[in-house]
Chains A and B, each alone.
Chain A
């Protein structure tokens, strides 16, 4: 025990009582001797007087001795009594200190050598302290919140990734957990005492906090605040407020940035996807109706209509395949069916499928191919899908009069397909993001050009599953070059 209480003043009082007892004993002894002398001399003769005188001469010694004996007896009794009451006196003193406001547990402890009362008092004191501490940690939030950083409640709060704060009636932060400090971009100790609106300067948030803190029973409110993250341009925080007992408000902050972007991307995808689906369907319908309207149409007309219907059908097919591929990518279930792939056949099919689209857009589509076509190992349908996306994008973003060139380069280590266009080009900032699913460049020039934002994401995933990748180099207003590289696992020597 760090501090042991001893009864204040009892030592001096004890000494005084012993002295008094000795003095009383001496006085009693002298008085008794004097009385005896007086009686003897008054009632007896000379012999008696002489005996008395002899007695009196020995009286002082007798008195002193008797006084000492009596004093010792009284002192011993006094000492014993003093020891017996020291414990209860110390407990009484500690009790007075506790009710007087002393909260230091160590200062309220009593030396257990003072007896059973002291032992019992210490045990009671410790049990009360434990009980009070446990109750404060678990009761009302307003109580728990006052203990910043201490106790089980704060540990629980710091384990949450949702920001929790308490503000007073004037909107100043009185407590916050670790997540709140992170979301506000500050440190806990810095934020305490500062107005929350200093970190989230949105009028609707200020109104919500003011209403909640005023004590009116306002319903729980939520406000999405965008762009409050400083350098973090995509940050969106959802701020919810609730009145707190005793005044002030409780505030929850959630980072919904990723959810917001995902929702925007989904909405944009649905809008673009429906348009992408409608366009080939419309063309198919138009050419079918043309064939149906004319009885026995000329061979050239019929051939042209059927070619467009076939091309647009394949376009629909690719679009649906892209959507399904994205689902497989998201689920991590996209697989390859590897077999021999004749690159000459692959490129011939691509040329046939995109010839009509190029002619419709007045774009020159050219295939620059090597004299020998390798046969490679891979998933033909997937490689076709990836290249179709690259060629389709090139035709889409190249204005009339431009050109799209498809090349094939073979080296000992890789096979590289290139799609080079003279289109609108891609900014450097967008080049980093165009391979993300649903991402479309924020470019005014493509606002009227529809797209799902899936093609390049799917193409890159296919290349990577083959052990390769897709790269891009581009200059705005001059054109782009997309290169799909696949490791060369040539299964058969080059075919003519």
Chain B
């Protein structure tokens, strides 16, 4: 899976492209953890190009959210599509993430 990594100010932006499933989900999870370590937690994940996620994908996002919670932070997701949002809400974990419409709004939350 292609995962673009850019910055907005001092905030790292990860942009995975494709469904968040199986091994791809694990790859994304490791990329997010690496970015979190590199940027001391200043990371947002742009899911505009992620159409859906399976249980492994949802679990991967949850793993990152749990790890960030130990340091008082939340995983910030951008542009969550309707299918993915529905999946998050169905399993009852939608409220565990901070969701933003665009990258700039998510980056501003670090101010």
Chain A residues, CB < 8 A from B73? 161, 179, 182
Chain B residues, CB < 8 A from A181? 71
Chain B residues 36 to 64 lying within 8 A of chain A, measured CB to CB, are 36-42
Q: Which of A158, A234, A258, A432 contacts B6 (CB 8 A)?
A: A432
**Residue from the set A232, A259, A330 with the largest chain B CB neighbour count within 10 Å:** A232
Given contacts A231-B38, A258-B111, contact A178 B70 (CB under 8 A): yes
Q: Does A352 contact B (CB under 8 A)?
A: no
Do residues A178 and B71 form an inter-chain contact, with CB atoms below 8 A? yes
Do residues A232 and B105 form an inter-chain contact, with CB atoms below 8 A? no
Residues of A in contact, count (CB < 8 Å): 34
Interface string of B52-91 (1 = CB under 8 A from A): 0000000000000000011111000000000000000000
Do residues A234 and B72 form an inter-chain contact, with CB atoms below 8 A? no
Q: Does A414 contact B (CB under 8 A)?
A: no
Q: Bin the interface of chain B by size.
A: 20 to 34
CA distance A437 to B104 in the complex (A): 10
Chain B residues, CB < 8 A from A236? 10
Q: Does B107 contact A (CB under 8 A)?
A: yes
Chain B residues, CB < 8 A from A232? 38-40
Do residues B10 and A183 form an inter-chain contact, with CB atoms below 8 A? no
Do residues A255 and B9 form an inter-chain contact, with CB atoms below 8 A? no
Do residues A332 and B105 form an inter-chain contact, with CB atoms below 8 A? yes
Chain A residues, CB < 8 A from B70? 158, 178
Q: Please report the number of residue pairs spanning A and B whose Cβ atoms sit closer than 8 angstroms.
A: 75
Do residues A257 and B71 form an inter-chain contact, with CB atoms below 8 A? no
Q: Which of B10, B72, B101 contacts A158 (CB 8 A)?
A: B72
CA distance A212 to B111 in the complex (A): 29
Q: How far is the CB of A411 from chain B (nearest CB, A)?
A: 24
Q: How far is the CB of A345 from chain B (nearest CB, A)?
A: 32
Chain A residues, CB < 8 A from B71? 158, 161, 177-179, 181-182
**Residue from the set B8, B40, B105, B110 with the largest chain A CB neighbour count within 10 Å:** B40
CA distance A432 to B37 in the complex (A): 22
CA distance A183 to B72 in the complex (A): 11
Q: Does A160 contact B (CB under 8 A)?
A: yes
Q: Does A185 contact B (CB under 8 A)?
A: yes
Q: Which of A160, A183, A259 contacts B40 (CB 8 A)?
A: A183
Chain A residues, CB < 8 A from B42? 255, 257-258
Q: Does A368 contact B (CB under 8 A)?
A: no
Chain B residues, CB < 8 A from A159? 69, 72
Do residues A255 and B105 form an inter-chain contact, with CB atoms below 8 A? no
B-side residues, CB < 8 A to A, are: 6-11, 36-42, 69-73, 101, 104-105, 107, 110-111
**What are 25 A-to-B residue pairs whose CB atoms are below 8 Å?**
A158-B70, A158-B71, A161-B72, A177-B71, A179-B72, A182-B36, A229-B40, A232-B39, A232-B40, A234-B7, A235-B39, A235-B40, A255-B42, A255-B110, A257-B40, A257-B42, A258-B10, A258-B11, A258-B110, A259-B111, A261-B9, A261-B10, A265-B9, A329-B104, A332-B101
